[in-house]
Amino acid sequence: MTSATAQAVSAPARQVRARRFVDRKGLIALLIFLPPAVILFTVFVVLPMIDAVRFSFFDWTGYGPITDFAGTDNYADVLRHRNFGTAVRNSLLVVVVSLTIQLPLAMWCALSLAERSININIFRTIFFVPFMLAEVAAGLIWKFVYDGNYGLVPIIGDAIHTDLPFVLADKFWVMPAILLVITWKYFGFHMMIYIAGLQSIPAEVIEAARLDGVSKWRINAFVKIPMIRSAIVISVFFAITGALQLFDLIIPLTNGGPAHSSHTIVTFLYEFGIRRMRIGFGGAVSVMLFIACVGVALAYRRILFKVEQT
């Protein structure tokens, strides 16, 4: 939403406004309000990032001075690591499923639940609850659901008289199982973004379309969805970056297993970089991930900008 509004204001206008702001309020306000943000951001975001880049060129266990320069060895090690490909594939899989299943599902729910009434509010809350749960708690809950001895899965299996697999111990089923949890966990969040957008559509527009005899489906497709474009833009962006950074659901669910088949890029970084005390290796992974995220963000802006022009 921010990018959309920012682009709505033309560049020269923005500059004028910025200059006027400094003139009017004076430097004092700037000096009071800017440093806390800049200092916090520098200490907790910028410096660690620079450190990570530095570490990535060294062999370092986390103990003692950093002296063992390794050049680009860490990067080479990451690229030929036997589990890195799986981690990248899984992260992309999460992106794809988020975009093709989760967001359409969220949109469908939003379109059905955008009206204001008490009953609908109840449904909305139910769909939103998973998002409010802490990731680790959600992971643990689903670990029990999937448990092959005591969970919900074997109960369902008994009911339909088949032996269902131990999904979290099965290299094939583990990713579908995780993707189901991710969809369940986050679709409510995207649904809420869409609902907020839908509620801001003026009633007259829809009323007019309806009076023109436009079918409900066509109203959705050609009136409502185009009008909440900025909400979709932001939700897609959250879905992609969130998917690339997925970590805290995976750890309690599978810890990356079985046999490292359910790692995402970030759990891969944690397992092989931090837990195995190869900080340089972890640094290399994080630099690659950072570049990928920045790349996605820039490419996304560009594409949007182009679409905006047409």
Contact residues for other proteins, defined by CB under 8 A: 61-65, 77, 82, 146-149, 165-166, 168-170, 254-255, 257-260, 271-272, 275-278
Q: Who's near 258: CB < 8 A, 6+ residues apart? A: 168, 169, 170, 171, 174
Instruction: Supply the minimum distance, in Å, between the C-beta of residue 178 and other proteins.
Output: 12
Nearest CB to other proteins, comparing residues 235 and 254: 254
Nearest CB to other proteins, comparing residues 127 and 142: 142
Nearest CB to other proteins, comparing residues 169 and 219: 169
Taking the C-alpha atoms of residue 88 and residue 90, their distance in angstroms, rounded to an integer, is 5
Q: Which residue type, as a one-letter code, is found at position 132? A: M
Q: If we measure between CA atoms, which residue out of 171, 84, 139 comes closest to residue 251?
A: 139
Instruction: Supply the minimum distance, in Å, between the C-beta of residue 288 and other proteins.
Output: 18
Nearest CB to other proteins, comparing residues 195 and 271: 271
Taking the C-alpha atoms of residue 95 and residue 244, their distance in angstroms, rounded to an integer, is 7
Q: If we measure between CA atoms, which residue out of 186, 295, 300 comes closest to residue 246?
A: 186
Instruction: Supply the minimum distance, in Å, between the C-beta of residue 63 and other proteins.
Output: 3
Instruction: Supply the minimum distance, in Å, between the C-beta of residue 88 and other proteins.
Output: 18
Q: Where are the beta strands (DSSP E) in 182-284?
A: none
Per the CB < 8 A criterion, the answer to whether 293 and 244 are in contact is yes
For residue 54, what are the CA distances in angstroms to 51, 80, 207?
5, 21, 59
Instruction: Supply the minimum distance, in Å, between the C-beta of residue 139 and other proteins.
Output: 13
Nearest CB to other proteins, comparing residues 165 and 242: 165
Per the CB < 8 A criterion, the answer to whether 244 and 265 are in contact is yes
| Residues pairing with 59 in the sheet | 68
Instruction: Supply the minimum distance, in Å, between the C-beta of residue 131 and other proteins.
Output: 26
Taking the C-alpha atoms of residue 194 and residue 210, their distance in angstroms, rounded to an integer, is 21
Nearest CB to other proteins, comparing residues 86 and 235: 86
